[in-house]
Amino acid sequence: MNILLLEDDLILSAELCKFLESNNFTCDKIYDGETFLRQIKNNSYELYLLDINVPKINGLDVCQTIRSFDKSTPIIIISAYGDISDKKDAFNRLADDYLVKPFQFEELLLRINSLLRRKMPSENTDQDIIRIDDLIINKTEQKVYRGGNEITLTLKEFQLLAYLAEAQGRTVSKQQITEHVWEHNFNTNTNTVEVYINFLRKKIDKDFKLKLIHTRSGFGYYLSPL
């Protein structure tokens, strides 16, 4: 799980990241709000930790900006401001939690884990959940998540993605895709498969550094983080 921290206290920032990494998270630290917003445009994170009083763009404005395009990634405010008015302002900007400094790191860990549990799609006892890196495919509900955010797919896009995922990294040919996804309902000489692969790439891979959908020239397509 990747966490992005906005904190301009260099010592606290380093200590927090060290603690989170010792608990199996990855943690990137940013010291001003402007750089923070640039960082999240090109990288995927499962949770944001925001101090309020930071340079350039304060943490509350960063929170509000995030919520303008990302409604679901958990946000925890960590701040020395403890007045109810400050907390109200944070929650009005759709922060998920608020922790007043100084706090015990263990309490922060409990709150992080609680938010992440609530955000993850419900588990099933059978094989209806497919996970590939930060991509989650729920076959029962026909829902797809990447980086903690739900991605809206058409029925055929979902069926194609699920078929690629079920191949577990093996390359599947255009012919195999037409048999399983379209059931030979179109001419295999058309470029329909390529078109839908491009649709998926725009939705699944475009906004992420790590690409999951790959072409093996002359053979077909495969889904893998490698």
Q: Which CATH number goes with the domain that contains 216?
A: 1.10.10.10
Amino acid 107: pLDDT: 94
Domain boundary residue among 58, 87, 119?
119
Position 150 pLDDT exceeds 70: yes
Position 184 pLDDT exceeds 80: no
Residues 84 and 146 grouped into a single domain: no
Q: How confident is the model at residue 121 (pLDDT cuts 50, 70, 90)?
A: low
Position 189 pLDDT exceeds 70: no
Report the CATH number that the domain containing residue 112 is assigned in CATH. Answer: 3.40.50.2300
* pLDDT tens, position by position, 197-212: 999 999 999 988 899 9
pTM across the whole model: 0.56
| 3 state DSSP class of 149 | strand
Residues 6 and 114 grouped into a single domain: yes
Q: In whole angstroms, give the CA distance from residue 153 to residue 151.
A: 6
Residues 215 and 146 grouped into a single domain: yes
Residues 91 and 15 grouped into a single domain: yes
Amino acid at 159: Q
Residues 138 and 44 grouped into a single domain: no
Residues 46 and 87 grouped into a single domain: yes
- Domain span at residue 35 reads 2-119
Residues 81 and 134 grouped into a single domain: no
Amino acid 157: pLDDT: 93
Q: How confident is the model at residue 60 (pLDDT cuts 50, 70, 90)?
A: very high
Residues 194 and 135 grouped into a single domain: yes
* pLDDT tens, position by position, 70-99: 888 899 999 999 999 999 999 999 999 999
Amino acid 123: pLDDT: 46
Which residue would you say has higher pLDDT here, 140 or 159?
A: 159
Residues 114 and 148 grouped into a single domain: no
**For a pLDDT cut of 90, what percent of the chain falls above it?**
62
Domain boundary residue among 119, 141, 162?
119
Q: In whole angstroms, give the CA distance from residue 86 to residue 136.
A: 36
Which residues contact residue 151 at a Cβ distance below 8 angstroms, ignoring those fewer than 6 apart?
144, 145, 203, 204
Q: In whole angstroms, give the CA distance from residue 104 to residue 115.
A: 17
Residues 190 and 211 grouped into a single domain: yes
Question: What is the C-alpha end-to-end distance of the chain, expressed in Å?
Answer: 18
Amino acid at 210: L
Which residues, in sequence order, are bridge partners of residue 2?
26
Within 10 Å of residue 25's Cβ, how many Cβ atoms?
Answer: 18
Residues found in the chain: 226
Residues 159 and 104 grouped into a single domain: no
- Residue 124 is assigned to a structural domain of this protein: no
